[in-house]
Structure 1
Amino acid sequence: MTTARRLSRILAITVPAVALFAAAACGSTDDTASATPVATAAVSAQQQPDGAADKGTVTANRLSVAAAGRAAQAALAKCQADGLGFVTVSVVDRAGNVQAMLRGDNAAQHTVEASQEKGYTAAAFGANTSDLVARAKGDGPTVADLPGTLFLPGGVTVKVGNASIAGIGVGGAPDGNADQACAAAGLAAIEGSLK
């Protein structure tokens, strides 16, 4: 069931129920007001296509441990080949949970957090962080104020179809575009196996 359909179903059931509760709390004696919301809720539930009943759980795609490991290895290998082996690579799921992390030789501590935040930002926004940098600029609050995000080049989104399921973040190179190239190499190593 799509999010929009689920939301409309919840609203169809919840809003009339709240109206019924409010009418009862205010001492309304209008029987038609209390009958209508119940009928609306019943009709909304009946309009669901066969097999589309809310089962209470959803299934979300996630990288396997093998794919996450391959992506991290490939990203670090690209950085090492470019003389940037002092980076950290993090592969995270859509919620930002680390699935694989490789800390290169002599990678500073800040690269651990930076790689994780870049990976999460790419996964959460469904776009590469190099494409998101402009969103983080401006007067007043911006998306850059969201905790756990980092709007600097170096994070790529991993998608299945149009859905972002993970992110690969690299932190530590002197230039964010070099981080981005390494993260892209990690994605390239697993793209063929994504379904």
Structure 2
Amino acid sequence: MQKKLVLGTAVAAVLAAGTFGAVSANASAPAAAPAAVVKADAGSDNLFRTNHLTIDAATDAAEAVLDAAEKENQRVSVAVVDRNGNTLVTLRGDGAGPQSYESAVKKAFTAVSWNAP
């Protein structure tokens, strides 16, 4: 589940990379920044477990996308959102257009809304 979450977020970050058109960048989040796990007492009747993307993992994913886009000579902004569509990290790459920041946030939200890979 944790692996899927980190991979899914990295894919969402790639989808969120926006400039004047769609930008293809292939990046994955490093294993060094895992999702955080919050857990109640094991003996509790109200046991719950939740995984969420840490800020460090989201930042690492966004930076990986920016690095991949730079290698492709693309000027992009990247937004990483959580499973609810809340923006965790937004990075504007060097030379990215002023519209790319807002576009990246909207694309990331749309990807989550449609449960896109």
TM-score, normalised on structure 1?
A: 0.34
Give the Å deviation of 1:81: 0.2
Q: CA RMSD in A?
A: 2.1
Q: What is aligned with 2:96? A: 107
2:51 pairs with 61, 84, 98, which one? 61
Q: Paired residues, what number?
A: 73
Report what 1:165 is aligned to: none
Unaligned 5+ runs, structure 1: 1-50, 129-195
Deviation at 1:76, TM superposition (A): 0.5
Residue 65 of structure 1: how far off its partner (Å): 0.9
TM superposition shift of 1:116: 0.8
1:94 Cα offset (Å):
2.2
Query: Structure 1 or 2: larger helix share?
Result: 1
The one-letter code of the counterpart of 2:95 is N
Identity in percent: 36
Distance 1:61 1:121, change over 3 A: farther
Kindly name which structure, 1 or 2, has the bigger radius of gyration based on alpha carbons. 1
TM-score normalised according to structure 2 size: 0.54
Q: How does 1:1-195 map to 2 (within 5 A)?
A: 51=45, 60-84=50-74, 86-128=75-117
Unaligned runs of 5+ in 2: 1-44
AA aligned to 1:72 is A
Q: Is the 8 A contact 1:96 1:116 kept in 2?
A: no
CA-CA distance at 1:59 after TM superposition: 5.9
Q: CA offset at residue 61 of structure 1? A: 2.7
